[in-house]
């Protein structure tokens, strides 16, 4: 999916806004046999007993050759590289922070760490702190979730083996990413199991909420970076795909809209706010100011779904669990967001 949101917090974070909300009156709209348990070794240490090495992985930005099981892993991706490493019990020694969260780490990662030492955070603005990365002496850099890897590849791969996305950062599925990272860490069996567990979690949620969700339509919108227009997600967005797997259907009123801006998004002008109506209407917000702005808009208030209470407001931090799915974020989304969807759908 949002990617859910577009906010330029830095070059690579143009999607942090991906979990925002809607604004203005209108909306513009693998080898080892390890178990995927929590971090079990020292920070940055990949538990031994993984798949065979050396490992070679082809990627869109270049080839990655990993001579031995990584012991000092760094993540420079948006969020999903961190998610998958920690999911497999490998705590990176350093990561670029997830800036939508005060701690710099998504709540599902913090929960998985369960008190273990958190990785060092590589603060930066317009470019990665290459000198700092060099001093950390990584033996693997995870970058499958980096939106600036095309620019950073040469410098990063000169420091250590760097793992690229397979086809494109916005096109690789969460399953591909999880298994790719699992292979790089020598834990492909554990990654395969983690994927299967996450898929089973979605299937179980679909079955449990079938009566409420099956066949119900939805739209999901957010504010753009300037907070002036709203964007609505299209069928190719990860959030739309996640919700559709639960048995719901993206409303016909938005599926044919032309893509505008980031992949999987369309713009809906204020006067066309009616297009956002559906059995269930979802919106993601960065802060209370955005929420008040949207919910105070007359056109938004007049949506049939809003009038009957079939409206689900989401904080950007929660919405990102669907927008950037991983084997850790999906269970979080199922537990936190699906009950809200089911309650709203019951009012349709």
**Per the structure block, which two tokens stand in for 157?**
């791969």
* pLDDT higher than threshold 50 for residue 293: yes
The listed CATH number (3.40.50.150, 3.40.50.1980, 3.30.1300.10, 1.10.3470.10) that belongs to domain 55-186: 3.40.50.1980
Strand blocks (E) in the chain? 55-57, 64-66, 73-75, 94-95, 120-121, 140-142, 162-163, 217-223, 230-233, 249-250, 265-268, 280-285, 311-315
Coil, helix or strand at residue 217 = strand
- pLDDT value, residue 52: 86
CA dist 14 and 8 (Å) reads 4
For residue 124, name the pLDDT band (cuts at 50, 70, 90).
confident
Using CA atoms of 283, 284, 286, 289 in order, give the dihedral in degrees to the nearest 10.
10
The mean-pLDDT minimum among 30-39, 43-52, 222-231 falls in 30-39
- pLDDT value, residue 34: 35
- Give the CA count within 13 Å in the CB-facing half-sphere of 177: 29
What value does the mean pLDDT of the chain take? 85
* pLDDT higher than threshold 80 for residue 17: no
* pLDDT higher than threshold 80 for residue 25: no
For residue 51, name the pLDDT band (cuts at 50, 70, 90).
low
For residue 270, name the pLDDT band (cuts at 50, 70, 90).
confident
Domain 11-28+199-345 has CATH 3.40.710.10: no
Residue environment code for 16-32, b if the CB has 16+ CB neighbours within 10 A, otherwise e: bbbbbbbbbbbbbbbbb
pTM over 0.75, yes/no: yes
- pLDDT value, residue 130: 96
Sequence ranges of the domains in the chain? 11-28+199-345, 55-186
> How many residues are present in the chain?
348
- pLDDT value, residue 54: 96
């Amino acid at each position: 999916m949002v990617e859910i949101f577009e906010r330029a917090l830095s070059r690579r974070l143009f999607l942090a806004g991906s979990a925002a909300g809607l604004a203005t009156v209108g909306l513009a709209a693998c080898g080892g046999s390890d178990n995927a348990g929590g971090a079990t070794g020292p920070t940055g240490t990949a538990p031994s007993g993984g798949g065979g090495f050396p490992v070679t992985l082809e990627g869109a930005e270049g080839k990655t050759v990993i001579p031995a099981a990584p012991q000092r892993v760094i993540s420079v991706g948006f969020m999903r590289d961190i998610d998958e490493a920690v999911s497999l019990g490998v705590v990176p020694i350093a990561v670029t922070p997830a800036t939508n969260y005060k701690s710099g780490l998504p709540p599902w990662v913090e929960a998985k760490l369960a008190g273990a030492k958190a990785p060092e955070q590589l603060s930066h603005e317009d470019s990665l702190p290459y000198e700092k990365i060099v001093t950390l002496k990584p033996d693997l850099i995870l970058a499958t979730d980096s939106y600036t890897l095309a620019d950073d590849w040469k410098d990063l791969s000169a420091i250590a083996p760097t793992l690229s996305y397979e086809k494109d950062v916005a096109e690789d599925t969460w399953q591909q990413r999880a298994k790719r990272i699992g292979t790089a860490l020598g834990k492909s069996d554990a990654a395969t199991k983690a994927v299967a567990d996450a898929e089973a979690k979605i299937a179980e949620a679909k079955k449990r909420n079938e009566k409420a969700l099956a066949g119900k339509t939805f739209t999901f919108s957010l504010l753009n970076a300037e907070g002036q227009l709203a964007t609505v997600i299209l069928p190719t967005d990860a959030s739309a795909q996640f919700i559709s797997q639960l048995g719901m259907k993206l409303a016909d009123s938005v599926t044919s809209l032309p893509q505008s801006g980031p992949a999987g998004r369309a713009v809906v002008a204020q006067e066309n706010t009616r297009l956002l109506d559906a059995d269930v209407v979802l919106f993601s917000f960065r802060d209370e100011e955005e929420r008040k702005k949207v919910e105070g808009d007359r056109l938004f208030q007049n949506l049939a779904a809003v009038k009957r209470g079939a409206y689900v407001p989401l904080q950007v931090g929660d919405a990102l669990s669907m927008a950037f799915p991983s084997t850790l974020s999906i269970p979080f989304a199922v537990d936190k967001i699906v009950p809200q969807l089911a309650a709203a759908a019951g009012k349709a």
